[in-house]
Chain A
Amino acid sequence: MSLTASRTELGADLALEMYRRMTLIRLFEEQANELYRSAKMPGLTHLYIGEEAIAVGVCSALRREDWITSTHRGHGHCLAKGAEVGRMFAELLGKEAGYCRGKGGSMHIADHENGNLGANAIVGGSTGIATGAAFSAKRRGTDQVAVCFFGEGALGQGLLYEVMNIASLWTLPVIYVCENNQYNEYTHYLEATAGEILARPRAFGIEAREVDGQDVRAVYGQTAELVERARGGGGPAFLLCNTYRYHGHHVGDVDRAYYRTKEEEDLWRSERDPLALHGTWLEEQRLATPETLKNTELEARAEIGAGLAFALEAPFPDPSEVTEDVYA
């Protein structure tokens, strides 16, 4: 089904679809980790596991033609905006069939047809791009909105403050979604972030809210309101989503005890898991049974398996392609 939604209340179909999307992201990332561990994937990748409710909650409140910009931890955003599993795996493996014909890899997947203007390997690097997309929507008289995903680490980058000022001055339809997973690489964000996070956007007169990033319905609800507001000319907003990444900063970051405890990780996994929380709610509301949820997972697993097989078999680009695409 389509993820299109302009209403802020949550229907049963959408609630189930959100569960499916989160499951797909979780399984995709587990498989990406496996590709790394079995040395099938070149380079490193940053897993989104634990943060699924943000991408899915936010993107469920967007239309296909709305834009997002993403980060180095971008697979979740990409899938939530509608990308195909097979072409994503192909990109992770550097194959011709990948979204960027192998030229971008994990940190640069862009999926223009679904409104994804691209992941970004520069922290804060896409804040200007999202703001520019919002400017363009307004100038061209469409009612598209732009969502800028970034980690709390990007709060250190000056560019963010330049563009938030501009977005507010010119009432641009952009929503800055700050995914606070607590850590900038290997440093707790409180060691790198002075003052209040929400005071930053508020200083520019930007509507700023905070939401539990493990609660997909709450993320969806807040985003839907902010999107409606932006579409209607209400201007930019900032949504702070509190979350946690279960795995290391990247797949190779396995020994983490020097910067965070195993107990902390276990607590988030066991008490705050976005899939488990939403699954329980679906059952409580009698929108799903344990069996339907299990089936959803099995279907997602099959989709992942098929996509992976496609990507593994796909050919590498021909070396001669290296000089293509430098200029348009």
Chain B
Amino acid sequence: MPELTFAQAVNQALAEELRRDDTVFVIGEDVAEAGTPFKVLAGLVDEFGPERVLDSPISEPGITGLGVGAAVTGMRPVVDIMFGDFLTLVMDQLANQAAKTHYMSGGKLKVPLTLRTTMGATRRSAAQHSQSLHAWVAHVPGLKVVLPSTPADAKGLLKTAIRDDNPVVFIEDKMDYAVKGEVPDGEYTIPFGVADVKREGEDVTIVATSSMVRVALAAAEQLETEGISAEVIDPRTLVPLDRDALIASAEKTGRAIVVDEGHQSYGASAELAAVIAERAFYSLDAPVRRLGAMDVPVPFSPPLEDETVPTPETVAAAARQLCGRT
């Protein structure tokens, strides 16, 4: 299998879908010649032209609303919102329009819209360019929410997102773009609602999302040297959620930690922990633990910012504690 970066995998998925379906188009700020500030879309405009890879004005609500309108009338737009922090700007179009149109129309109208955006701190970008707001959208019935953690998952899930007949919010961690991984040759898609066990283990389950999967895997490695066997499981899509896989893993190990980069309070980690606590309760040897980002705006200063996110060390410490090895 070839090795690709996460960014290249996203780029390939888009190229393949643009090639296969004329109704697909990409719209966003600096997505064409610039290929986005992260260079993720580099080269797409050369192959597909400016009619299908469109540079827009700096008008996030406008392009999202345009995406909803194009989707409802037969196209498959991929709207690029540069920073996840700008989800706040498009919330009306996403939550009141895209999410509810199918339901309110009694199932008559469909909104096959994909909105790609980013998340993740520790880039020294301060409070308005570092947030992980996936819980905001996951809270809205009608939206599907995807958080890929590897290049292979990013590619397969993005292709599924574009083909899905519902609005999908696809969130990429900026810290992952340069990460490399093996990506299968040829055409493939990955279904939504299927979690992936990234590492098998016996003593403790670590449920992790997005770049926190890497953090969890690093923690698992550390724990192994101490004789603790950790299982790392990635739900991959928050909506729909593969509840059964999380519960099965927690029942097997008897202990569960949820690691997610959203703010801890009222976040995705709370939902994932609740799913396990509700259904695996009688198999658990310890309460479910949550590790999220601190409940503070993301600070600029490196020594402060580094405090705010889960790290391999804090995850391993939580696992030790759950396993009675403090």
Contact = CB atoms under 8 A, between A and B. Distances in A.
Interface of A: 42-44, 94-95, 100-108, 120-125, 153-158, 184-187, 191-193, 258-259, 316-317, 319, 321-323, 326
A192 B55 contact: yes
B33 interface: yes
B294 interface: yes
A106 B129 CA distance: 12
Contacts of A107: 126, 128-129
Contact of B308 (A106, A121, A187, A322): A322
Contact of A185 (B30, B89, B295): B30
A121 B34 CA distance: 20
Contact of B304 (A102, A108, A124): A102
Main secondary structure of the interface of A (DSSP, over half): loop
Contacts of A95: 301
A94 B61 CA distance: 33
A322 B299 contact: yes
A187 B294 contact: no
Contacts of B86: 122
A103 B300 contact: yes
A187 B30 contact: yes
Contacts of B29: 184-185, 187
A322 B304 contact: yes
B301 A108 contact: no
B131 to A, nearest CB: 11
B57 A323 contact: no
A187 B301 contact: no
A124 B89 CA distance: 11
Contacts, number: 120
B56 A192 contact: yes
Contact of A157 (B58, B127, B306, B307): B58
B294 A191 contact: no
A322 B294 contact: yes
Nearest to B129: A121
B33 A259 contact: yes
B126 to A, nearest CB: 5
A44 B83 CA distance: 15
Given A108-B127, A121-B128, A124-B58, A317 B301 contact: yes
B294 A317 contact: no
A82 to B, nearest CB: 22
B86 to A, nearest CB: 7
Nearest to B86: A122
A193 B302 CA distance: 37
Interface string B72-90: 0000000000000110010
B123 to A, nearest CB: 7
Contact of A258 (B33, B85, B307): B33
Given A95-B301, A192-B55, A108 B30 contact: no
Contacts of B55: 187, 191-192
